[in-house]
Structure 1
Amino acid sequence: MVAHDERAQELLRAMLNKPLYVALRKPGNLARTPELLEAHLRWMIAAERRGELFASGPFTDDASPPGALGGMTIVRATSASHARDILSSDPFVKEGVVTLDVRKWLLMEGGFSVTVRLSDQSAHLF
């Protein structure tokens, strides 16, 4: 059993082990979504450019509009409190369109690919 534990620990040490903070967005006063959507999107783009936003988006299904099921935002922060501070200035959070449940998350494994085509100056993320 000890050998298995040691091998598992060796595999874990080689992984990314990057702490991030996940905010599970729960629907609140969705009636305010249309009036605040542009401000929310501008805030998200600015957070992305500041390097705070790792990934974000709504949960969806075939029967509900985006946001009706909540969503998830992943931020780069030093603590859960710091993540809440960052997210507190999002207009959707400030105005009660969504509430947040913030949790620390370790990004361990996964991957993505980027294709850049010089001939037409396009890029595609997989």
Structure 2
Amino acid sequence: MYYVAMLTITDADLNAKIRPAHLDYINDLYKQGKVVMAGPFTDKKGGMVIYKASSEEEARELAEADPVIKEGARTLELREWGALEFPLG
């Protein structure tokens, strides 16, 4: 299953300080096959990570272990995502 983590910045200074650790963290998860895609929103108010996990609990554990969440620089909204497989029909 896929899970989308919306990461809204709540402390810009803290986020800037922790962002390198955040990028290392999601890059490591990508190499493990746990992150499918990730990136910032163009309005610079946060970003999104798409996790591939066997359960919501696993996805939540991965998302909550992200340094930007652990340190309180961003908030987390996690939702299960039913990705469509193309082509349809």
- Whether the TM-score (by the shorter chain) exceeds 0.5 is yes
CA, structure 1 residues 81+91, in 2 after alignment: closer, same or farther (shift >3 Å)?
same
CA–CA separation in structure 2 for the residues paired with 1:54 and 1:72: 11
Secondary structure in 2 matching 1:107: coil
Partner of 1:83: 59
* Cα offsets for 1:64-115 (capped at 9, x unmatched): xxxx32211100112222111011121111111111111111111358xxxx
CA–CA separation in structure 2 for the residues paired with 1:33 and 1:99: 11
Unpaired runs of 5+ residues, structure 2, are none
CA, structure 1 residues 34+26, in 2 after alignment: closer, same or farther (shift >3 Å)?
closer
1:37 counterpart (19, 35, 39):
19
| Rg larger for | 1
Identity over aligned pairs, percent: 34
Unpaired runs of 5+ residues, structure 1, are 1-18, 62-67, 112-126
TM-score (norm 2): 0.85
CA–CA separation in structure 2 for the residues paired with 1:27 and 1:33: 7
Please tell me the root mean square deviation across aligned C-alpha atoms, in Å: 1.6
Judge conservation of contact 2:15–2:74 (CA < 8 Å) in 1.
no
- The residue identity in structure 2 corresponding to 1:81 is E
- The residue identity in structure 2 corresponding to 1:28 is T
TM-score (norm 1): 0.63
> RCO greater where, 1 or 2, for CA within 8 Å and sep 6 or more?
2
- The residue identity in structure 1 corresponding to 2:7 is R
Aligned length: 87
* Aligned 1:62-73 pairs, distance under 5 A: 68-73=44-49
